[in-house]
Structure 1
Amino acid sequence: MTTIALRVLLAILILFILPLATHALWWALRHDLAPDWSRADWTSAKILPDAREHRPALVRIYAARTGRWKGIFAHHSWIVVKEEGASRYSRYDKVGWGSPVRTNAWAADARWFGNDPQLVLAIDGEEAQRLIPEIRRAVAEYPYSRFGDYRVWPGPNSNTFVAYVVGKIPALGTALPPTAVGKDFHPFGDFAGLTPSRTGFQLQLGGFLGLTVGWVEGFELNFLGLVTGIDLRHPAFKLPGWGRIGLPLPAEA
């Protein structure tokens, strides 16, 4: 084996396999995980106020760890909107069973497989009101919205769906967590383009391999759906399994 091949293997081991393995060990030692979907908590985490008592428009993107072994390395993400004065939230998810794109199948801020939602993006007021029609239009235009259009790995999955909406609306100005496996999925032949935020470029090989460099997205390497990288705008490391480790994002502060 050549020196170059050995260095590549060593880099893969250090950057991808080792962080994932340590997170898998930590995950296996947890005692608070639901054993199956039927016994998991899918109720509201009480993060959002009662929609009837919150008049301003609102846009949220949430992500929560998936269940059982998939939680070692992946989050599930979804979108929540509410127009000014509306009495209820609208939640959009893509799932792998039934009708692929679901509306209000769960509470807007519900736990996912018992795991609390993590706030990815928060926009309120006039800016949210302006963006909501664009978000609803992007949801309606999502190209993988038919039965059978879901694939856990490397996509298109729930995170591919949210990444598509974000990419259609650069004004959202956010990036999904590095553990949102499937966010970088592109069909073969769509090798290069701008990042979803339009602040950099992205090279992808069907979601299996990729490189992302952008002001919003940071620097990311994708290997078989696992992401490692650095966020320079809000300094942090991005590690497989562990996700983002560093300063909190503005939405989390």
Structure 2
Amino acid sequence: MMISSFFKCLGVVAITLMLLLIGPIFVVSSDEIDLSTPWGKANHDRSGLAPDPATTPQAIVQVYGARTFSWRGAFAVHTWIAVKPENAKNYTRLEVIGWRKRRGLPVTAATVGWPDRNWFGSRPELYYELHGSAAENMIPAILEAARQYPYPDEYEAWPGPNSNTFTAFVLRRIPEMTVDLPPTAIGKDYLDSSNHFVAMAPSNTGIQVSFFGLIGAIASKAEGLEINLLGLGFGLDPDNLALRLPGIGKVGFIKDTIPLPENINRPES
């Protein structure tokens, strides 16, 4: 009886892992990620998603994500936040970068420059954008939340804390930022005992529970219902009529969290 139960459990585990890996396998087979270009030769060209500060004086807040480098991109995206105060000539890009730890530096980084560059060959997606006085009022709170990030010297690509843990941390402290990070943002669910493994969803529209990003769930208006198992998220998003799938991300009719502003000045890609 015990042997039979053991093999049944083993079978359930194997089937679950296969289901979780279908998405990443599909991403690899569809050539969505580049497995051949060396790290040092990866493309960092601009994507054209960031308005030119020279012709766009109003304040801007943006949230980006792009597939991570090489095979890791089959599973996850890297996310970051960009801010430009009113009349500023440059953007400030806020993110966590793992290799900084290997150099003895804090993993948190605030750099000046274009925020819409390809991430080691992967074209970024824009998850959120806000212009004008609302963005101007939001920027100080974003910068302060970035300074309060509790893991400035820690980095683990899986299950966290990582770049997506940082983005989710900042978003949770700005209630107006109802940003729906995709299920491929592995690390966004990283919660530890400091918050009793319970927090607002990254979108600030619901609640989530998670045990160190390894197992948990989100129930919210923006994310819908998302289950996190071993860092991989899957679920159903009724608000956007979308499925949330490991490796693939959101599939379906997806609306923007906030409508993009009209008549903004963006250069050609």
TM-score by length of 1: 0.89
3-state SS in 2 of match to 1:230: strand
TM-aligned CA deviation for residue 14 of structure 1: 6.4
- Structure 2's unaligned 5+ residue stretches are 261-269
Matched residue, 2:163? 158
* 1:89 partnered with 2:87: no
Q: Which amino acid aligns with 2:234?
A: T
TM-aligned CA deviation for residue 104 of structure 1: 1.7
TM-aligned CA deviation for residue 245 of structure 1: 0.6
Q: Which amino acid aligns with 1:232?
A: P
* CA deviation profile, 1:8-27 (whole Å, cap 9, x unmatched): 54762564232333333334
State the distance in 2 between where 1:73 and 1:105 align: 28
The percentage of aligned residue pairs carrying the same residue is 37
State the distance in 1 between where 2:167 and 2:199 align: 18
State the distance in 1 between where 2:35 and 2:124 align: 15
State the distance in 2 between where 1:218 and 1:150 align: 28
> Measured at CA, do residues 34 and 114 of structure 1 come closer, stay the same or move farther in structure 2, by a change above 3 Å?
farther
TM-score by length of 2: 0.84
RMSD: 2.3
> How many positions carry a matched residue from both structures?
249
State the distance in 2 between where 1:243 and 1:185 align: 18
Question: Which stretches of structure 1, 4 residues or more, deviate above 6 A after TM superposition?
Answer: none
Matched residue, 2:265? none
> Measured at CA, do residues 68 and 14 of structure 1 come closer, stay the same or move farther in structure 2, by a change above 3 Å?
closer
Whichever of the two has the greater Rg, that structure is: 2
> Measured at CA, do residues 113 and 50 of structure 1 come closer, stay the same or move farther in structure 2, by a change above 3 Å?
same
Aligned counterpart in structure 1 of residue 20 of structure 2, from 16, 19, 32: 16
Aligned counterpart in structure 2 of residue 118 of structure 1, from 125, 129, 145: 125
* CA deviation profile, 1:130-189 (whole Å, cap 9, x unmatched): 11111011011111113xx11111111000000000011121011211101111011246
- Structure 1's unaligned 5+ residue stretches are none
* 1:128 partnered with 2:135: yes
Please say if residues 33 and 71 of structure 2, whose CA atoms lie closer than 8 Å, have aligned partners that are also in contact.
Answer: no
Aligned pairs for 1:1-12 (under 5 A) are 1-2=4-5, 5=9, 8-9=12-13, 12=16
TM-aligned CA deviation for residue 6 of structure 1: 7.4
* CA deviation profile, 1:206-232 (whole Å, cap 9, x unmatched): 111111111122110111111101111
* CA deviation profile, 1:20-60 (whole Å, cap 9, x unmatched): 33333334xx6855522201011322222221211111100
Aligned pairs for 1:17-166 (under 5 A) are 17-27=21-31, 33=35, 35-98=37-100, 99=105, 100-104=107-111, 107-146=114-153, 149-166=154-171
Matched residue, 1:246? 252
3-state SS in 1 of match to 2:27: helix
